[in-house]
Chain A
Amino acid sequence: MTAPARATTAHTTLTERLRTRIEHTVPQGQALPDRQPAYVRSWVYVFGVLTLSAFLVVLVSGAILAVGGLTWWHTSSVGHFVNSLHLWSVEIFFATMVIHLWGKFWMAAWRGGRGLTWVTGVLLFLASIGTAFTGYLSQTNFDSEWISTQAKDGLNAVGIGAFFNVLNPGQMLLWHVVLLPFVVGLITVWHVVLVRRHGVVPPIDAVAPGETVPGDAPDLSTASQEEARP
C-alpha cells in the first residue's frame, strides 16, 4: 500500500508547515466533538468547562472595567455592578477550578500519557493565583493597600521585590490586565488542546474508546464503540 502523494511531499513554505501543524494539533474530529464516551455523562466532567466559562466572564467584565477606569468602578452604580461581576466571576472561576482539581486528582488524571495535561493544569492554577493577587492589589482601596504592605516583605525575602513591586499600583495593574491574563490564556489554550488530543481521562475502572488497558491513552482516530452524547 502506497502512502498518499501529499504525505511524502516536503513542505517548503511557512504557510504549508503552519497549515500542517494546525491540522495535526488534535486528531481529526476531536477539535469540537459532539460525542463523548458514555462515562463522560457525569457532573464531575462538567467543572473544567465551567471554569473556562467563568474565565470568559472574567475577561469580558475586566475589559469593561478597563474601559471605564477606576473612578468609574468606584463611583458609578453600573461600575459597582461590573466590579462585582468581575469579583464573583473570579470566585466562581476558582471554586470550579478547585472542584475540577479535586475530581481530576482522585481520578489520577495524569494516567495514559496525560502527564503534561496535569502539569499545565497546575501551572494554570499558579498563574491564576498570581493574576487574582495582582487584582486584589489593583482595587485602589484600603484592602489593596493592606494586602500590598503585608505582601512586600515576603516577596522581597524571596528576591523578586526588585522587579515585582507590590507597592507600585501602576505596575501591579499592568501585570493584572496584560501580562498575567496573557499567560493564563496561553496555558489555557495549551491545556484544552492537550485534553482534546488525549481525550478526557476515563474513570479508573473504565476503558476508554480505543483502549485495551485501563488508563492507557486512547487512539482517538478510531471509531468509538461506546459513545454517547454528553
Chain B
Amino acid sequence: MQLATVVMDAGGRFIDWGVLHVSVGNLIVVLVMLVVFALVLVLPFPGEREEQPRGGSR
C-alpha cells in the first residue's frame, strides 16, 4: 500500500503557461524535435558532391 501511494504520488513536473499545460518530459521531447528539424535543414548530407557521369551516356 505504501508502494502504491508512492507511485501514485509521483505526478511529475508540469509547466503552465496560459492555456499551455505540458510536462517537463514532453516539453524536452518537443524541443529536441525542433532542434533536430533545424539541423535537418542546415546540415549537409554526407557524400554531397558532384557526380561524374557514368559511361558518358548522360
Contacts and interface: CB of A to CB of B under 8 A. Distances in A.
B16 interface: no
A47 B33 CA distance: 12
**Chain B interface size, under 10 / 10 to 19 / 20 to 34 / 35 or more:** 10 to 19
Interface stretch (A36-44, A115-123, A169-177, A180-188): A36-44
B8 interface: yes
A229 interface: yes
Contacts, number: 33
B33 A95 contact: yes
A98 B30 CA distance: 10
Given A41-B48, A43-B40, 15 more contacts: A41-B45, A41-B47, A42-B40, A43-B39, A43-B41, A44-B40, A44-B41, A91-B29, A95-B32, A95-B33, A98-B33, A99-B36, A99-B37, A99-B40, A102-B37
Interface of B: 4, 7-8, 29, 32-33, 36-37, 39-41, 43, 45, 47-48, 51, 58
Given A142-B4, A225-B58, A99 B41 contact: no
Contact of A103 (B7, B40, B45): B40
**Chain A interface size, under 10 / 10 to 19 / 20 to 34 / 35 or more:** 10 to 19
Nearest to B51: A228
What are the 9 closest A-B residue pairs judged by CB atoms, nearest first?
A: A43-B40, A41-B45, A99-B37, A228-B51, A44-B40, A95-B33, A42-B45, A102-B37, A142-B7
Interface string A21-45: 0000000000000000000011110
9 contacts: A41-B45, A41-B48, A43-B41, A44-B40, A99-B40, A102-B37, A103-B37, A103-B40, A142-B4
B33 to A, nearest CB: 5
Nearest to B41: A44
Most buried by A among B37, B39, B48: B37
Contacts of A228: 51
Q: Is the interface of B mostly helix, strand, loop or mixed?
A: helix
Contacts of A44: 40-41
Contacts of B47: 41
Given A95-B33, A102-B37, A142-B7, A43 B43 contact: yes
A99 B33 contact: yes
Nearest to B50: A228
A47 B4 CA distance: 40
A98 B58 CA distance: 37
A95 B29 contact: yes
A197 B37 CA distance: 27
A39 B36 CA distance: 20
